[in-house]
Amino acid sequence: MKSSFWKGKRVLVTGGNGFLGSHLVEELKKRGAEKIITPRKKDHDLRNKDESIKLTKNTQIVIHLAGNVGGIGYNQANPYALFYDNLLMGLNVIDACRHNKVDKIVIIGTVCSYPKHTPVPFKESDLWNGYPEETNAPYGIAKKALLVQSLAYKAQFGLDVINLLPVNLYGPGDNFDPSSSHVIPSLIKKFHEAKIAGDSHVTVWGTGKASREFFYVEDAARAIADATEKCNQSEPINIGTGSEIKIKKLVEMIKKIVGYHGRIVWDKTKPDGQPRRMLDTSRARKLFGFQATTNLETGLRKTIEWYKSTFA
């Protein structure tokens, strides 16, 4: 549905060629945005302050999605890069928006910023009540620092900034590289390849006892667009489905949809990550009327079909 909000505005979407970014760009086009800038990493390094200033010049809206991200294994192997890259990119983009007097900035944070033992469902008020889960703490803390920066800039310079905290995303176009993928694309790839090869079993990390909330990427794109149009609140806002599933049940669901009939072997030497993860999404409903509409099974089927049509 088109909205007059986007008419005539130059919109910069950092990370606009990535997984979430590509879906967001399509959503913005549907709403009538015509001047959308999606810089590529190879051409514009946001860790360079001058590049950030150049990109945000004459821009009315900046949606900052760009990041160095990955699953548990990737976080364990690259803590320095996950902290340094994400912090520096965000620092530069937010400061460049101040420098160029950008009308509105939307910062996409992460559920990884929450403390390890946050009571479920996670409320935004819980954000500062402890240290994040160790395997993704560098990433989570870097993103949390950007929340502090954006609130400081709002207080001192009047910056109009929104801070959104999405939970784990999945969907068509996800990252299926086993060295850096998150749990759902990793499992889809494992089960599909095991089915094709006729393998007798598939090994899965952890115990299966942890729980997660999974947010379909098209719903996430809609949430970001809705918030940009309708919200002027700078305090953090959770976006997600407000429901969780045990990893063990998720694994069985993906196995069934893929059509794999072998055994599942749990590698309990590998970490489960945060014990539970589910957001309280009532603030998003209250402030801009957002509610997710894609249930997990439907989203998984769409994602698996996309994977098979792209890689199989």
Query: pLDDT tens across 170-217, in order?
Result: 999 999 998 889 999 999 999 999 999 999 999 999 999 999 999 999
Question: Does 20 carry a binding-site annotation?
Answer: yes
Region 14-40: mean pLDDT is: 97
Region 104-117: mean pLDDT is: 96
Q: Is the pLDDT of residue 312 over 80?
A: no
Does the N-terminal peptide bond of residue 138 adopt cis geometry, omega within 30 degrees of 0?
Answer: no
Residues in Cβ contact with 34 at an 8 Å cutoff, skipping those fewer than 6 apart: 6, 7
Q: How far is CA 112 from CA 124, 134, 209, 285, in A?
A: 13, 10, 18, 21
Q: Phi and psi of 30, rounded to 5°?
A: -60, -30
Query: Are residues 61 and 228 in contact, defined by beta-carbon separation less than 8 angstroms?
Result: yes
Q: How far apart are CA 254 and CA 164, in angstroms?
A: 28
Region 155-165: mean pLDDT is: 98
Q: Which of 74, 139, 170, 260 is catalytic?
A: 139
- Please give the span between the terminal C-alpha atoms of the chain, in angstroms, as a whole number: 34
* Percentage with pLDDT > 90 across the chain: 96
**Helix, strand or coil for residue 266?**
strand
Residue 114 annotated as catalytic: no
Question: Does 240 carry a binding-site annotation?
Answer: no
Q: What is the DSSP letter of 123?
A: P
pLDDT tens for residues 53-102?
999 999 999 999 999 999 888 999 999 999 999 999 999 999 999 999 99
Q: In the predicted model, what is the mean pLDDT of the chain? A: 96
Q: Is the pLDDT of residue 282 over 80?
A: yes
Burial readout 62-92 (b: 16 or more C-beta within 10 A, e: otherwise): bbbbbbbbbbbbbbeebbeebbebbbbbbbb
Question: Does 272 carry a binding-site annotation?
Answer: yes
Query: Are residues 267 and 208 in contact, defined by beta-carbon separation less than 8 angstroms?
Result: no
Region 24-47: mean pLDDT is: 96
Region 264-269: mean pLDDT is: 97
Give the CA count within 13 Å in the CB-facing half-sphere of 127: 22
Which amino acid is residue 114, in one-letter code?
Answer: Y
What pLDDT is stored for residue 18 in this prediction? 96
Q: Which of 53, 65, 68 is nearest to 28 (CA)?
A: 65
* Percentage with pLDDT > 70 across the chain: 100
Q: Note the pTM of the prediction, 2 decimals.
A: 0.96
What pLDDT is stored for residue 179 in this prediction? 87
Q: How far apart are CA 297 and CA 253, in angstroms?
A: 8
Question: Does 168 carry a binding-site annotation?
Answer: yes
What pLDDT is stored for residue 274 in this prediction? 87
What pLDDT is stored for residue 250 in this prediction? 98
Burial readout 98-111 (b: 16 or more C-beta within 10 A, e: otherwise): bebebebbbbbbbb
Domains of the chain: 8-172+213-242+277-293 (3.40.50.720)
